Amino acid sequence: MIAAETRPQEDLHSVWEGVLEVIQQNTTPQTYNTWFAPTKLLSDDEKTLRINVPNNFFAEWLESHYSKLISNAVLQHVGEQRKVRFVPRDSKPVNSAYHPLDWKSEPAGNQKPLHTDALYSTRINERYTFENFIVGDSNNFAYAASRAVAESPGETKYNPLIIYGGTGLGKTHLIQAIGNYSVRKKPGTRVYYASSETFTTHFINSIQENKASEFSAFYRSCDILLLDDIQFFAKKGKTQEEFFHTFNDLQQNKKQIVLTSDRPINELNGLEERLLSRFNSGLVVDVQPPDFETRLAILRNKCDESGLEIPADVLEYLAVNLTSNVRILEGALTKIMAQVTFTAAEPTVELARTIATEIAPPDKNNLSIDLIMTYVAKSFQLPIDQLRAKTRKREIVKARQAAMYLAKKLTNHSLITIGLHFGGRDHTTVIHSLENVGQRLKEDPIFAQKLQAMEKHLEYNR
């Protein structure tokens, strides 16, 4: 086979064309035209095919939905397996330094010491970096602590570093960013990422296969051990004992330990006291749900990475209405991007509202600003769009300010969030509206009675 450096361009073209022919035979015309026709082979070094795609969203979609199809097509056409790396236009190719490898994946006949570099792999997702982690008031302390650990693993007082918080707030992103940064700063650093369930499974398998010593040797060979969701160690006595000894060995040898949990340490029921004591000896930090500005920055960053332009009002709608989970927030944006990409849908607020409702249906026990606006508009016999409009007609202004007042009183939303629901008005406009309503309540008993009745109705039907 001709080396990649000397292979003519037409040969490169024919390699990928052959792969595409196989793919075309095994998928629908719509799928092929949408996802594969726009691709082009950039290089082939006989180990890796680098494929040019329109943007990062394309790359992510192909990897997550069609990797098996592409792999089989490459094998069928080329006659051997090749890695495939997608390179978005005007972007650097994805770093391919990390490939997951289980601790026991070497064939038994060729078994090597499990802590050697030949078998070592990080299992880290290379996309989780400090550079693409959006920092806000809700997570800045956890971010700063993670950076400090990544700069000097095992040499700070933050050992262990424990990050806790709810689902989808960035804990996993931060601990894997520590690993990615450390490996890039100092190649050869032995970083290993696993969930607590993976650790437990490995431990059970090692007992069943009579390889407990190899299991211990592997985990204790880490320079940095990243362990996710330690709350799942609860009531697993033997696993806790093994982790306790692993923890002690790593800490005594000044190796870094980073853990995550979905709750504070003092709420981890079912864990042994000696483990909890070890955890509390380090630094415990939390991540909270992001504020509006941080949520909006996350969405804008994802748009930049994907190379797709989504209107500002659509991003603002998602940031206002999906507040508690970053994964859900990003998932809604991904679904909008998918609709735009392969159905040519317009990225409108209405599309965002439909997708947000599908992904995260509103809690019937809590009032939404949209529900309040709908009820107020009906009470004042106005179309709801008039509450968002720029008009200064007296009756519309009166209804809009009443709705803002009720939104502030009956929900926990910020002034910024309330203003965005009313046509993107800023928080000072909301403050002015609240002051006007307060004054009118003192001077206009009929208005006060009507507003009180509306409030009771909304409270009763929340």
What local confidence, expressed as pLDDT, does residue 100 receive?
Answer: 30
For the chain, percent of residues with pLDDT exceeding 90: 31
Please report which helix (H) or strand (E) contains residue 163, including its range: strand 161-164
- Which one, of 154, 149, 151, 139, lies nearest residue 175 by Cα? 149
| pLDDT tens-digit map of 338-397 | 888 878 888 888 898 888 888 776 554 567 888 899 889 988 999 988 998 888 899 999
What local confidence, expressed as pLDDT, does residue 98 receive?
Answer: 28
Asked whether the predicted pLDDT for residue 6 surpasses 80, the reply is no
The model carries a pTM of 0.59
Asked whether the predicted pLDDT for residue 431 surpasses 50, the reply is yes
Higher pLDDT, 159 or 78: 159
| pLDDT tens-digit map of 9-42 | 445 567 888 899 889 888 888 778 878 888 888 8
Give the tokens for residue 24. Answer: 């075309």
Asked whether the predicted pLDDT for residue 432 surpasses 80, the reply is yes
pLDDT band at 145 (very low <50, low <70, confident <90, very high): very high
Question: What sign does the dihedral 191-196-197-203 (CA atoms) show?
Answer: positive
135-151 burial, b for 16+ CB within 10 Å, e for fewer?
bbebbebbbebbbbbbe
Asked whether the predicted pLDDT for residue 126 surpasses 50, the reply is yes
What local confidence, expressed as pLDDT, does residue 460 receive?
Answer: 65
- Which one, of 132, 121, 141, lies nearest residue 177 by Cα? 132
What local confidence, expressed as pLDDT, does residue 365 receive?
Answer: 53
> What percent of the chain is helix, strand and coil (3-state, nearest 5)?
55, 10, 35
Asked whether the predicted pLDDT for residue 168 surpasses 80, the reply is yes
- Which one, of 226, 285, 215, 276, lies nearest residue 255 by Cα? 226
- Contact between 223 and 154 under an 8 Å Cβ cutoff? The reply is yes
Question: Pseudo-torsion of CA 366, 368, 369, 374, nearest 10°?
Answer: -110
Higher pLDDT, 357 or 315: 315
User: Mean pLDDT, the chain, as a whole number?
Assistant: 83
- Contact between 303 and 310 under an 8 Å Cβ cutoff? The reply is yes
What local confidence, expressed as pLDDT, does residue 363 receive?
Answer: 54
Higher pLDDT, 150 or 80: 150
Residue 441's φ and ψ, nearest 5 degrees, are -60, -35
pLDDT band at 308 (very low <50, low <70, confident <90, very high): confident
What local confidence, expressed as pLDDT, does residue 462 receive?
Answer: 60
- Which one, of 299, 284, 283, lies nearest residue 134 by Cα? 299
Question: What sign does the dihedral 142-145-151-155 (CA atoms) show?
Answer: negative
Asked whether the predicted pLDDT for residue 173 surpasses 50, the reply is yes
Task: Evaluate the omega torsion of the peptide bond into residue 93 and state whether it is cis, within 30 degrees of 0.
Answer: no
What residue type is assigned to position 335 of the chain?
A: K
CA angle 330, 334, 337 (to 5 degrees): 140
What local confidence, expressed as pLDDT, does residue 366 receive?
Answer: 65
What local confidence, expressed as pLDDT, does residue 27 receive?
Answer: 83
Asked whether the predicted pLDDT for residue 399 surpasses 60, the reply is yes
Asked whether the predicted pLDDT for residue 123 surpasses 60, the reply is yes
Asked whether the predicted pLDDT for residue 277 surpasses 80, the reply is yes
Question: What sign does the dihedral 155-158-162-164 (CA atoms) show?
Answer: negative
Q: Tell me what the mean pLDDT of segment 407-422 comes to.
A: 85
Q: Which of 78-82, 133-137, 271-275, 444-448 has the lowest mean pLDDT?
A: 78-82
- Which one, of 236, 199, 201, 195, lies nearest residue 220 by Cα? 199
- Contact between 80 and 69 under an 8 Å Cβ cutoff? The reply is no
DSSP code, position 267 = G
Asked whether the predicted pLDDT for residue 112 surpasses 50, the reply is no
Higher pLDDT, 460 or 324: 324
Distance of CA 51 to the CA centre of its chain: 25
- Matching residue, tokens 């930090």: 285
Give the tokens for residue 125. Answer: 């997702």
Domains and CATH numbers, the chain: 9-88 (3.30.300.180), 108-286 (3.40.50.300), 292-359 (1.10.8.60), 369-460 (1.10.1750.10)
Q: Tell me what the mean pLDDT of segment 309-331 comes to.
A: 86
